Amino acid sequence: MKNYKIAILAGDGIGPEITREAVKVLKLIEERNDVSFELMPALFGACAYFATGDAFPQETKDICDSADAILKGPIGLSHEESKNIPIDKQPERGALLPMRRRYNTYANFRPVSLPKELAHFSPLKAEIIGEGIDIIIVRELVGGLYFGEKEMGVNKDGLRYVKETLEYDENQIRQILHQAFKLAGHRKKVLHNIHKSNVLKSSVLWNEILEEVAVEYPEIEVINILVDAAATLLCLKPTQFDVMVMENMFGDILSDQGGGILGSLGLMPSACIGDDKAYYEPSHGSAPDIAGKNIANPYSMIGSVAMMLENSFDMADEAKNVWAAMQGVFADGFSTADLSKPGSGVNMISTIEFGDKVVEKLSKMPK
């Protein structure tokens, strides 16, 4: 029997609610397969800061270091509550970015996917959804503006000023591009390269490296699109995209737009992959506006479990079953509040009920 250790970081806001449902699925996977999961819960985020003074305490680092994979719920506080924590200790700068840096999880895969049967979830017209949206955003996750040098202070004219730098070296760019090309090779063999080379030198270098890397993948068609135009096209013609690759900040913004065109950020799982370690998290945040109400959509968190099964534990078939179980719940006409507005024809269920239905479906599926 295979044994895997999984660090479980439930996080803040809706984090514990959606993590609970994801853990139910993990337990069922264990029952159905010759595998055992040692689940290791740990504090991470604002909850860790308030308990220990550190959003990513040493004990959590030790647990994550020893884990085969990490399942992470969203972290963070509302805009107002964040002010109670010094900026460098806030969960984003004090936990999330240090986690990405610690494990060098440079490749972030964010599926933006909606089958045509669920077109009614989307704010886009059915004719725009066509045969369905099926995009994977490949976001560089440990470089760019997020990790460049930063300065804040008062300049010689007595004015408060700020300086943040956007830095990449060619190796960082090359490694994420290889990931994107490889993924495109397993899919439709088209890669949309999202850039801003008309202004940013970082994009000029990015595109230069891309041309070098592309030589190794002659079967892949590359389509270059400026990031601002890509934002429009995601709304007007999302079905033209399959794999999209981009730097860190562009990926942050366009992936949330991805959630928008699907109808909810609750449909956005993700995988953050490094050479030695991977962690899995929803793309969205801690949703303080709906926390504690048992209404959050756990799809993003259960989908992150599916990505973990496939990428970290070589259980692609069970991963497919998890996706199918969630699609089955939707097909039966149920979803959480975000996707069951009055008049939508979708029956509203709670976070817990969604998790229970996924477990029920999955338990009936042949392995």
Residues acting as catalytic residues: 146, 196, 228, 252, 256
Pairing relationship of beta strands 107-115 and 132-140 according to DSSP bridges:
antiparallel
Question: Residue 96 or residue 234: which is nearer to ligand IPM going by CB?
Answer: 96
Tell which one of 210, 230, 254, 287 touches ligand NAD (CB under 6 A): 287
Tell which one of 338, 346, 354, 358 touches ligand NAD (CB under 6 A): 338
How many residues line the site for ligand IPM (CB under 6 A)? 5
Question: Residue 283 or residue 321: which is nearer to ligand IPM going by CB?
Answer: 283
Q: 287 contacts which partner out of ligand NAD, ligand IPM, Mn ion, none, CB within 5 to 8 A by kind?
A: ligand NAD
Closest CB 204 distance from Mn ion, rounded Å: 25
Strand partners, 113: 134
Tell which one of 12, 17, 21, 92 touches ligand IPM (CB under 6 A): 92
264 binds ligand NAD per the rule CB under 6 A: yes
**Residue written as token pair 């070296």:** 169
Tell which one of 122, 300, 304, 312 touches ligand NAD (CB under 6 A): 300
Closest CB 216 distance from ligand IPM, rounded Å: 29
252 binds Mn ion per the rule CB under 5 A: yes
Q: 264 contacts which partner out of Mn ion, ligand IPM, ligand NAD, none, CB within 5 to 8 A by kind?
A: ligand NAD
Tell which one of 125, 289, 343, 364 touches ligand NAD (CB under 6 A): 289
- Selection from 343, 362, 354 nearest residue 295 by Cα: 354
283 binds ligand IPM per the rule CB under 6 A: yes
Q: 305 contacts which partner out of ligand IPM, ligand NAD, Mn ion, none, CB within 5 to 8 A by kind?
A: none
286 binds ligand NAD per the rule CB under 6 A: yes
287 binds ligand IPM per the rule CB under 6 A: no
> Sheet of 271-273: strands edge to edge?
35-41, 2-9, 69-72, 278-280, 271-273, 107-115, 132-140, 243-246, 190-195, 221-226
Tell which one of 9, 14, 64, 96 touches ligand IPM (CB under 6 A): 96
Tell which one of 247, 252, 310, 318 touches ligand IPM (CB under 6 A): 252
Residues at the contact surface with Mn ion, assessed by CB under 5 A:
252
Residues at the contact surface with ligand IPM, assessed by CB under 6 A:
76, 92, 96, 252, 283
